[in-house]
Structure 1
């Protein structure tokens, strides 16, 4: 299964997401903001970045850009209520990034992660 870097500033949502992904067999390292996630990104290897867009400090789009620089093969999924922000070409989000719009069911998240990792 995948080693996932999860960046989400909503504590309860982050806990639920990490638990669902762990239950599905993935290894999840989670952080409440982009700054801490960026430190982990530079220190550890990940298969997938799962990030909110709007967060304190480094936002999800910048985190995704950095992830793509560190490891161009890393998969990226934005989890956001602001899909238009992620998809706006002016933001220069990695072109292969996927977007999962909030609200979503945990089953949808697990299915999307499995689909992205299989691609």
Structure 2
């Protein structure tokens, strides 16, 4: 099973995304900040870091750079509502995928499926 670490500071968005990914057959650990995500990256194995870029304490770019150093096989996908930071993210972590808000949950699930060559359990492919 694909394991996803979700870092999103907006509580309702975090719950919404986690629920959608779990319904699609992914195991999700959701945290509110990049700083809360670090111990999970350091102490556990995840296939994907799904992180908002703009967050307090530690932004998603810093978190992704930490993840790339500690767990180089972990894939990274940024989610953001700010077009300007998309360019910064692309330069800082060029292998990462960027999904711009607003997006449909189906788009998120399809991107994750593409990354891992999986098919969701929803049967809507």
For this structure pair, what is the TM-score category when the shorter chain's length is used for normalisation?
Answer: over 0.9
* C-alpha RMSD of the superposition: 1.7
Larger Rg: 2
Aligned to 1:100: 99
TM-score normalised according to structure 2 size: 0.88
1:32 and 1:42 map into 2 onto residues whose CA distance is 17
Return structure 1 stretches of 4+ with deviation > 6 angstroms.
none
Deviation at 1:85, TM superposition (A): 1.3
Give ranges in structure 1 of 5+ residues lacking alignment: none
Unaligned 5+ segments in structure 2 are 119-125
1:92 shift after superposition: 4.8
CA contact (8 A) 1:75 1:117 kept: no
Residues 9 and 55 in structure 2, CA contact (< 8 A), matched pair in contact too: yes
The question of whether the paired residues in 1 share the 8 Å contact of 2:41 and 2:71 is answered with no
TM-score by length of 1: 0.92
